[in-house]
Structure 1
Amino acid sequence: MKSLLRNSLITVSFLLFLPVAASAVELELPRAGTGPSAPGSIPSPPSDISAASYVLKDFESGVALAERDPSARREPASLTKLMTAYVVFGEIRDGRLSLEEEVTISERAWRTGMEGASRMFIEVGEEVRVEDLLRGMIIQSGNDASTALAERVAGSQGAFVDMMNNQARRLGMRDSYFANPHGLPEEESQYTTAADMATLARALIREFPDLYNLYSERSFEYAGIEQNNRNLLLWRDAGFDGLKTGWTSAAGYNLVSSADRNDRRLVAVVMGIDAPDHSTGGTRRANESQALVNWGMRFTETRQLFGAGEALGMPRVYKGSEQEAPVGLAEDFWVVIPPGEGDDLSASMEIDHPLEAPLREGARVGRVVATLDGEAVHEQPLVVLQEIETGGFVRRGWDSAALWVQSVWPF
């Protein structure tokens, strides 16, 4: 009788530690008030966009709402000046440069863009404030101002270009390379992508909100010459407040723009628009950017369901120093849905197989899936959030037996 009781207890204890077959676990979602509803599905982006490459991104999340060849490498032209501004803004923020400081204009800066390209019309030997040079570069697209700023910050154009490319790598702009601070054609290839330009635009707006205001100014006068900002959207729509135009014969017509409406900001990048003349090209890039932003604002909503590093569950761990491991996401989990549909979302966590130690932090063990009306709308890997080391001899032996039983007797 004692032997039977002992064997029964052992069997019951053993079964308690058997792994459960992988299955989906429903997750609790944050609920928020819904706004006006849109159609039950998101329509396609505007079909009349002629840009060779484009991307429309939600500013807060970085989620792409619409895109065409966003990673295709193209010549940046004057979009290069966004990176020039980013580097200069960083110098101002860190106290190595001030807006009031005066810069002596070199002959090289004066000569940059002499043959018909955009200029601020600064003169050799002139003392010009950094703030004026920034306006000359941002509003007037002055190539001379870009060179003057680069020389002041780094001592030479070449050293400044190194700073530009270092910042591009730091921001994750893997498909961008800059050869000068202004974007005029060089013998050395220079390139970027719509996706990388959107990354840079988001960084500019997020990190330098005060200096970013320069991009919303419509005109700037220097040396008695007033020049208008070539971003036509600043005149059309009060929601648009930046950023930069660009053109060369090889690049086509480019525009990086951003609009803030009803506490939501979008960033649009269009590149490689063809046009017979500057007037037509300037209008087309503005029209297409505005169309993308209007579409995104009208037909999409982004919602964060879970945060990076947030523990979504504590599944059983076998052969480990701990019996459970926190699992979650390496990056924030955002979904794109029609406006007003957020409360119809559901999400589940799926673990592919029983977890066995050792487990490294960041190891993929399953997925998190969000669904709307029964259809998956987004999926991200489920990862281990804490390293779990191998357990002791007894734990490993016991759990090995449990896993073996599960393999031959699943339930």
Structure 2
Amino acid sequence: MTRIAAALALPLVAIVGAYPSTAAAPAPQFQTEAPVAYMTDLSSGAVLFERDADRRMPPASMAKMMTVYVAFDMVAKGELKLDTEFTMQPDTWKKWHAQGSTMFLSSGEKVSVANLLYGIVTLSGNDACIVLAEGISGTEAAFVDRMNQMRDKLKLTNSNFGTANGWPDNGVTYVSARDLGTLAARTIEDYPKLYKQFYSRPDFTWGKTLGSGDAITQANRDPLLGRVAGADGLKTGHTEEAGYGFTGSAEQNGRRLVMVLAGMTSWNQRVNDSVRFMEWGFRAWQAKPVVKQGRKVADAAVQLGDASTVGLVAPRNLTVTLPAGMTPQMQGKVVYQGPIKAPIKAGTHVADLVITSPGLPQQTLPLVAEKDVGEAGFFGRAWAGLTGLFG
């Protein structure tokens, strides 16, 4: 199988429509003192901004996004139920009841998976993370193995997890901003219902104060909630080693952005720069339609199929992200690993439409198989084998 860049079935202007082009447009720039910054537009795949996005750095509580992703994956597969209860073990309580952010769990208390997830996402509870990890895998170390297996599956090449909650561990746990952006995107795309249920809650009440026994309500630390329209996640982090960080997302008018800022020096800087960064992403960039849903873009060669080619179509209305007010010249090519081996199911992601424009980031849009393609019969396979000998 080789990577094939195929000619478009139609000129790009025929697919996109006739936009009046402007001169090459430099990508807009964002001003921040954060040493690490990254933003991507999930609707187009465009990276809108990156600064040291592959640096390995301590994630602090942003590591909890992987703990939550593992739990979401298990819930979606039926391996874990939201109403299952786990117990806060006495030894776990002694270690974690007063270590950083807490859900205020009590020793011996039984808590459902759903409430532990609220405690992790909304309250950033270190205690909640360990109770969930131990409940799922028996020990935190065994759960961490699950986290790193998932890291490999998601291809997070600059990440490693040594704890379930991101507590400093002498450099064993590290991530990159790009990996955090990927993890955020996969959480949103892979488990949209669970993401919506758990990641946008403004506050959560759990535990009671000593003495009066009043219920304890804590606000979500997400600096975008209530400040940026469409904001609905994800996770802050802070330790002395890591500084102040945030991985966030918001959706406006069909565009979803994911942002990461890290290494900031104060709570206020995290709030102010996070809000400005997300607003810049929506204001300085615009979406332009490229291909309507169902439109055929090209044909791909098929190996050992009952058809020699398969049409490549847009699975949804595809857009590119361009600087606001600009429509620079665009070029497109179809790329896929091919020939694509049969059988192929209609709707399967088998190719990409790669859009390039001078001065702007490359954008990669998915294309799917137009129809089912079955395997070739015996004589078809035999003929393919014979022609392969003399090809």
TM-score tier (shorter): 0.7 to 0.9
- Equivalence for 1:142: 125
Give the letter for the 2:256 counterpart. R
Q: Which of residues 337, 348, 353 is equivalent to 2:322? A: 337
- Equivalence for 1:103: 86
Distance of 2:247 and 2:254 partners within structure 1? 20
- Max Rg structure: 1
Q: 1:371 to 1:169 in 2, by over 3 A?
A: closer
- Equivalence for 2:188: 205
CA contact (8 A) 1:27 1:312 kept: no
TM-score by length of 2: 0.73
Give the letter for the 2:279 counterpart. N
Give the letter for the 1:238 counterpart. A
CA contact (8 A) 2:154 2:183 kept: yes
Q: Which of residues 207, 226, 247 is equivalent to 1:256? A: 247
Q: Which of residues 203, 223, 241 is equivalent to 2:232? A: 241
Q: Which of residues 15, 22, 25 is equivalent to 1:41? A: 25
Q: Which of residues 263, 269, 277 is equivalent to 2:260? A: 269
CA contact (8 A) 1:150 1:156 kept: yes
SS in 1 for 2:205: strand
Shift of 1:208: 1.5
Shift of 1:225: 1.1
- Equivalence for 1:30: 15
CA contact (8 A) 1:301 1:338 kept: yes
SS in 1 for 2:50: strand
Which whole-Å deviations, capped at 9, do the CAs of 1:103-125 have from their partners, x for residues lacking one? 11112432344444111111121
1:228 equivalenced with 2:211 (yes/no):
no
SS in 1 for 2:217: strand
Distance of 1:137 and 1:166 partners within structure 2? 21
Q: Which runs of 5+ in 1 are unaligned?
A: 1-21, 275-280, 316-323, 351-358, 363-367, 397-411
Shift of 1:327: 12
Aligned length: 344
Q: 1:161 to 1:116 in 2, by over 3 A?
A: closer
Give the letter for the 2:188 counterpart. I
Give the letter for the 1:229 counterpart. N
Shift of 1:187: 3.7
- Equivalence for 2:274: 289
Q: 1:116 to 1:370 in 2, by over 3 A?
A: closer
Q: 1:349 to 1:197 in 2, by over 3 A?
A: closer
Distance of 1:81 and 1:33 partners within structure 2? 46
- Equivalence for 1:347: 331
Shift of 1:233: 1.7
CA contact (8 A) 1:336 1:377 kept: no
1:89 equivalenced with 2:80 (yes/no):
no
CA contact (8 A) 1:255 1:286 kept: no
SS in 2 for 1:66: strand
Give the letter for the 1:218 counterpart. P
Give the letter for the 1:217 counterpart. R
Q: Which runs of 5+ in 2 are unaligned?
A: 1-6, 208-214, 302-307, 341-352, 370-383
Provide the aligned C-alpha RMSD in A: 4.3
For residues 10-409 of structure 1, the aligned pairs below 5 Å read 26-27=11-12, 29-31=14-16, 41-42=25-26, 44-47=28-31, 49-187=32-170, 189-213=172-196, 214-223=198-207, 224-274=215-265, 281-302=266-287, 312=298, 335-339=320-324, 341=326, 345-347=329-331, 361=339, 378=362
Task: Indicate the percent of aligned positions where both proteins have the same amino acid.
Answer: 33
More strand by share: 2
Give the letter for the 1:265 counterpart. R
CA contact (8 A) 2:64 2:120 kept: yes
CA contact (8 A) 1:26 1:349 kept: no
Shift of 1:50: 1.4
Shift of 1:347: 2.7
